[in-house]
Structure 1
Amino acid sequence: MKIQDILQRLNIESLNKMQYQAGDVMVNTDSDLVILSATGSGKTLAYLLPLAGMINPESDELQAVVIVPGRELALQSHDVFTRMGCGLRSMALYGGRAAMDEHRNLRKIKPQIVFATPGRLNDHLDKGNIVADDVSYLVIDEFDKCLKMGFRDEMSAVISKLPYVERHVLLSATDAEEIPGFVNMGKVVRIDFLTDSQIPDRINLFVAKSKDKDKLDALYSLLCSFGESSTIVFLNYRDSVERVSGFLRDKGFVVSAFHGGLDQKAREDAVYRFSNGSASVLVGTDLAARGLDIPEVDNIVHYHLPQGEDEYIHRVGRTGRWQAKGRAFFLLGPEETLPEYIKDTPEEYELPTDVETPPQPRMVTLYIGKGKKDKISKGDVLGFLCKVGGLKGGEIGRIDVKERCAYAAVSRDKWKSVVARTAGEKLKGIKTVVELIK
């Protein structure tokens, strides 16, 4: 397994200092490891790279378990591991779908590593769907959030069912509370890359002020000033997300809405449209602050002030990921002031008085009704869109193939002709549905 080949597949030039240190501890010592580093600094890759080299590729048994607090992080971590292309098998296990379907896939795929939420992992262990005899490595990602979300008892139960774990790795983006005793860690090496300034120097902070208590018009002006750059707008409540996203759509923005009240497909659609450039604005609750596979976000806007320091750190961590630069904006009403936990001093940002019509994203997202279960690959989708849909390579963006469907970003001015051309046509010999995700 060549690290440089994996980095090339992930479009990463080199590892950062935190990742080098994590790999050194995991590969060259027998110690357990705690990694504290900011959101967006690459903690997932920090443990996955060395862990991939520690798993025996000749064995079909499950050897590593990664506990995560939610479905989004399970899917993101599984996706990163798959894109590493190291020849190992993995699965994401989480609630909200039939455990029986997961069980069938477990028997079929025989994963050597799983990324799982505590409740669903307990369920599979209790039913004997997962045999823990060969599980030697346990990772708890965002262990601070797992504890805050009330998973203490479930995690304790999981760990009691993994009796042969030899190495533990815990990760957090905040200076979390003391590690609970039930984790059963031995000698621990602690890698701490958290700083007093809360956020990296490459992220610039700004305050924009609204003259009115209702900040919608100010938000509109602020977003218009960003041009075509990508933005996540954070709010604290689901109904507020619906209100703000509806307002922005009426004003001409292409928006993705994201909160816990949406069903799984609606949430996945929202993330894909934003991450592949089909929507320029994602409006969401703090659920969008962690675990989403969105590599490049130019701006963060706090429409509602973060409810605490941890929420603030994770929100801002959605921009300026890895070595990229980013901006974060506090949109303050007449009676609002910055919370005391904000240690850095933001610059004043003057809202424009004359705003232009919001620019439209270059891409749209198409839903294709066939996926991995139909033995469909990215190459199959690409060929279908070119040969049948009449597109050229430069008119196609990101393609994602899921278990039962696929998503493809295509040029905005071409999607109608693609849908018309592919109506009733076959993808790899199977009739499929192609439609716009709105």
Structure 2
Amino acid sequence: MKLQEILQRLQIANLNEMQTAVLEQYNPEKDFILHSPTGTGKTLAFTLLLERHLRKDIPGTQSMILVPTRELALQIEQVLKKVHVGFKVTCVYGGNDTKVERNKLRESPALLIGTPGRLMYHIERNHVNINDVHTIILDEFDKSLEFGFEGQMRYILGQMNHIGRTIMTSATKMSEIPDFARIHSPVIVDFSGDGDSKPKISVKKIISPSQHKLKNLLRILSKNGEKKTIIFCNHRDAVDHISSLLEEYEVTHDLFHGGLEQPDRELALLKFRNNSNRILVTTDLAARGLDIPEVETIIHYQLPYKEDAFIHRNGRTARMQSSGEVFVILKPEEDYPYLPVDSETLHLDDEDYTLPTNSAFATLYITGGKKDKINKVDIVGFLLNLPDIKKEDIGLIEVKEKESFVAVNRDVVLGIIKIANNLKIKGKKVRIGRT
């Protein structure tokens, strides 16, 4: 394994302690379980393990990775493509076009990632040749069970007759592993209780009657200033309600929950990643498995019923041993035993506040992507050739299959749209607009 070459492609200096332990303790002849908190790099850990099993002379699918959410599937796809150069990687998930997926599966991918329901759909219809699959990865397995995917996973694993090993990851320890997972005498690497891996978080409580919760939320956002913040609610309806209230106060934000169409969910996360939006209102769907870097603040507008959910929500901040701040808005009658006893109580009711300003960036879409052989360098060059556009006006760029998204300084957005529409990138005439 050319580890340093892989890390260079990923722009990572070194593996962390957990990832190093995984590589050192892994036994290719045995099943393997990794327990480690959210945000510690489990995806890279199991991706590096696959390096020991992938072979160029096997034409079929060699490894199948089951994940609980579409967003996690897409995130893993990007990591696999950077690590396992030269091997075909395909991602399938609910909400995506099944015809497009079927066409991608005509030539068997070496690595297939998917949500359980969609993988089951393709296996039942023989779109996937599973005869050569030697390694199954059950990523965030506890979350898949929590989401009710046991039946689909049981079916998928029941079809696998030639599995050499199963690799399972979980953010929490499981008291019992279901028989259908077919894990026997595994090697276990457990970082779930490791103090160095746990987020360094300060929890602050705000006691607030129901009628004052929104005002206190706005006060917290005011205190945060430009910090990247996730606001958690328990249900989709609550997310929609809080989003509507924030719109009334002209607080720029995005929302994210399972009731949204997949493109809308992906766009909300993209804008949050590229800093054109610093506030995300969401359900627990965003609590695990997503790559949302540099989140500085978590606000629990509603607290979850279980401690595990509280821990996973907080895991969105203070990732990879950094520190984070957590605010909990409680009604006077509410009592949650899992809250830290030393949590500081803040009194914000009398504080004046100024609503947070917009980010300096906004996101533009471009109607061209990987299928058009367009890459980030092409987009940067295209924008810099426009009048009055400077390098510092251009932020994060993400290139998808058929379109691209670029964060640009808000002050130049209208100028770019006016000038650049119908110009060509790599010989393709493109349309440009604001998301």
Structure 2 length as normaliser, TM-score? 0.94
> What amino acid maps onto 1:347 in structure 2?
E
Q: CA offsets, 1:197-241, max 9 Å, x none?
A: 898251222112325544101000001101111000000121221
Whether the 8 Å contact between 1:25 and 1:31 is mirrored in structure 2 is no
Please tell me whether the aligned partners of residues 199 and 316 of structure 1 are also in contact (alpha carbons under 8 angstroms): no
* Shift in Å, 1:124: 1.4
Return 246-255 or 320-329, whichever deviates more.
Answer: 246-255
Counterpart residue number, 2:46 = 47
Distance (Å, rounded) in 1 between the aligned partners of 2:30 and 2:388? 56
1:406 deviation in Å? 1.2
Q: For residues 51-99 of structure 1, what are the alpha-carbon distances to aligned partners after superposition, in whole Å with 9 as ceiling and x for unaligned? A: 1343124544211111001211111111222344644321211111222
Q: Secondary structure at the match of 2:255?
A: strand
Aligned residue type for 1:265:
P
Secondary structure, aligned partner of 1:61: coil
- Paired residues for 1:133-144 under 5 Å: 133-144=131-142
Q: 1:69 aligns to what?
A: 68
Relative distance call for 1:155 and 1:366 in structure 2 (3 A) is same
Are 1:311 and 2:309 an aligned pair?
A: yes
The one-letter amino acid paired with 2:6 is I
Between the aligned partners of 1:389 and 1:377, the Cα distance in structure 2 is 21
2:290 paired with 1:292: yes
Residues 1:412 and 2:406 aligned together: no
The separation in 2 between residues aligned to 1:289 and 1:201, in whole angstroms, is: 14
Cα deviation for residue 369 of structure 1 reads: 1.7
Runs in 1 of length 4+ with deviation above 4 angstroms? 196-199
Letter in 2 for 1:205: V
* TM-score, normalised with respect to structure 1: 0.93
CA contact (8 A) 2:199 2:318 kept: no
Give the Cα separation in 2 of the matches to 1:426 and 1:389: 16
Q: 1:390 to 1:137 in 2, by over 3 A?
A: farther
Amino acid at match of 1:329: F
Query: How much does 1:190 deviate?
Result: 1.5
The equivalences for 1:143-292 within 5 A come to 143-195=141-193, 200=198, 202-210=200-208, 212-292=210-290
Distance 1:396 1:59 in 2: 43
Unaligned segments of structure 1, at least 5 residues = none
Cα distance, 1:183 vs structure 2: 1.7
Moved more, 221-230 or 114-123: 114-123
Q: Check the 8 A contact 1:390/1:418 in 2, yes or no.
A: no
Q: Aligned equivalents of 2:331 and 2:68: distance in 1?
A: 33
Percent of pairs identical after alignment?
40
Secondary structure, aligned partner of 1:79: helix
Which residue number corresponds to residue 363 of structure 2?
Answer: 365
SS of corresponding position for 1:223: helix
The aligned amino acid for 2:60 is E
- Equivalenced residue count is 434
1:341 maps onto 2:338 in alignment: yes
The superposition leaves residues 120-149 of structure 1 with CA deviations (integer Å, 9 ceiling, x where unpaired) of 111212222111122111000111111122
1 CA distance for matches of 2:211 and 2:34? 41
Q: Once the two structures are superposed, what CA deviation does each residue of 1:314-371 show, in whole Å capped at 9, x if it has no partner?
A: 111111111221111111123323x123356322234371222412212111111222
Distance 2:387 2:80 in 1: 31
CA contact (8 A) 1:74 1:92 kept: yes
CA deviation profile, 1:3-47 (whole Å, cap 9, x unmatched): 223223333332222211212233x54221111111111111111
1:212–1:124: structure 2 CA closer, same or farther, 3 Å change rule? closer
SS in structure 2 at match of 1:215: helix
Measure, in 2, the Cα distance between the counterparts of 1:397 and 1:80: 21
Q: CA deviation at 1:386?
A: 2.2
Instruction: Identify unmatched segments of 5+ residues in structure 2.
Output: none
Write the letter of the residue equivalent to 1:221.
Answer: R
